Amino acid sequence: MKHQPLTHTPLENSRVLIRLFLFMVALFVVLFAGSALAAPATTAAPASLNVAAVELAVPTAVLVGDPDLGDAPDSTNHFGVVMEAYPGTQAHFPTVFDQTTGSPPGPKHLNRPLHYHLGPNISSEREADIGGDMDGINNIVPSANNPNNDNFDDSITSPGAFPHCQLRTITYNVTVIAGGTSTAYFNLYLDWNRNGQWGDTPLCPNGSFAPEWAVQNQLVTFPGPGSYTITSPVFTTFNQNPQQQMWLRAILSDAPATTNNGSGPLNGYQFGETEDYRLPGIIPTVPPTPVGHDGHD
Ligand SMILES: [Ca+2]
Ligand SMILES: [Ca+2]
Ligand SMILES: [Ca+2]
Ligand SMILES: [Ca+2]
């Protein structure tokens, strides 16, 4: 039997074209559906990023790009009102940045962007006594003689006692937000003699000086983002009246401090935070009065 060559009628050709068209449609649907299903997997893939974000514990309430200032009382303020450091003692702490109110300027950290700060959190404000403040109240309110209103003074959680004329250190926490290796300077001021200013250098009976600028430009290096606990260098205390309150200032900044009174540079620091603490006086513990026998035993 003679072999007949394969040929297609016009009808058969149109069927082939229809099948080919349907195959292409099916292939397109499969590809489209596949890409749609793959999309969530793409966004969920870098799980390590989520882990890093949790580890950082970056504060969400921070107004990134806004400055930070201290909240110790300052009598050179925008209201021209004298503030008290302690009852009956005028405050001379440099906290207000605006130098038209009087020098020296208080430390101001621009934090654009926020790079590192003291403790787990930070709150921002435009100025110490006027303008916007994310806490809803200015750091100091001179008209009400009301300082110490800045939230998140949280780097020194247990200052402890400062026995008179002893050697000791202090431990503080730092949070680094981003970037590679970075360096910062830590400074600590304590109003040992309670005269409403930092910068004095009282003398201990043993002949050693106790500068109120207790920690002077401790250089600290951070290998990367994270939370760090740091111990200060040893300093000499001076605390004749431990039952009295005492103002303490801690500064973390990108540039070294240059004055002994707790002030900052004329143009501010680029990064960091200033935390001011009004430490409560230590109430001396009174030995319990011995309970006498009542004679009925
Ligand atoms: Ca803080
Ligand atoms: Ca603040
Ligand atoms: Ca404070
Ligand atoms: Ca002093």
Please give the order of strands across the beta sheet that includes 226-231.
Answer: 116-118, 171-176, 226-231
Q: If you write DSSP's letter for every residue of 35-68 in order, what string do you get?
A: HHHHHHHHHHS-HHHHHHHHHHT--SS--TT--E
Q: Which residues surround ligand 3, an ion (CB under 5 A)?
A: 71, 148, 153, 276
Q: How far is the CA of 117 from the centre of ligand 1 (A)?
A: 6
The token duo for 5 is 């060559």
**Ligand having the closest approach to the CA of 154:** 1
Question: Of 104, 121, 106, whose CA–CA distance to 69 is shortest?
Answer: 106
In sequence order, the 6+-apart residues with CB closer than 8 A to the CB of 108 are: 67, 68, 69, 97, 264, 268, 269
**Ligand having the closest approach to the CA of 239:** 4
Secondary structure (3-state) at 31: helix
Buried b (16+ CB within 10 A) or exposed e, 114-146: bbbbbbbbbbbbbbbbbeebbeeebbbbbeeee
pLDDT band at 30 (very low <50, low <70, confident <90, very high): very low
Statement: residue 286 has pLDDT above 60: yes
Q: How far is the CA of 86 from the centre of ligand 1 (A)?
A: 24
Q: How far is the CA of 75 from the centre of ligand 4 (A)?
A: 15
Q: How far is the CA of 278 from the centre of ligand 4 (A)?
A: 14
**Ligand having the closest approach to the CA of 85:** 4
Cβ proximity of 71 and 147 under 8 Å: yes
Q: Where are the domains of the chain?
A: 55-283
Q: How far is the CA of 197 from the centre of ligand 4 (A)?
A: 4
Beta strand pairing call for 246-253 and 272-279: antiparallel
Sign of the alpha-carbon torsion through 182, 187, 188, 189:
negative
Statement: residue 125 has pLDDT above 60: yes
Q: How far is the CA of 95 from the centre of ligand 2 (A)?
A: 12
Q: How far apart are CA 245 and CA 241, in angstroms?
A: 9
Statement: residue 55 has pLDDT above 50: no
In sequence order, the 6+-apart residues with CB closer than 8 A to the CB of 91 are: 72, 73, 74, 75, 82, 83, 84, 85, 147, 196
Secondary structure (3-state) at 222: strand
Out of 29-38, 40-49, 113-122, pick the least confident. Answer: 40-49
Q: Is 87 left (phi over 0), alpha (psi -120 to 50) or beta?
A: beta
Out of 11-15, 199-203, 266-270, pick the least confident. Answer: 11-15
pLDDT band at 106 (very low <50, low <70, confident <90, very high): very high
**Ligand having the closest approach to the CA of 62:** 2
Q: How far is the CA of 121 from the centre of ligand 2 (A)?
A: 9
Q: How far is the CA of 150 from the centre of ligand 2 (A)?
A: 5
Summarize pLDDT for 202-260 with one digit per residue, the tens.
Answer: 999 999 999 999 999 999 999 999 999 999 999 999 999 999 999 999 999 999 999 99
pLDDT band at 292 (very low <50, low <70, confident <90, very high): low
Q: How far apart are CA 174 and CA 61, in angstroms?
A: 17
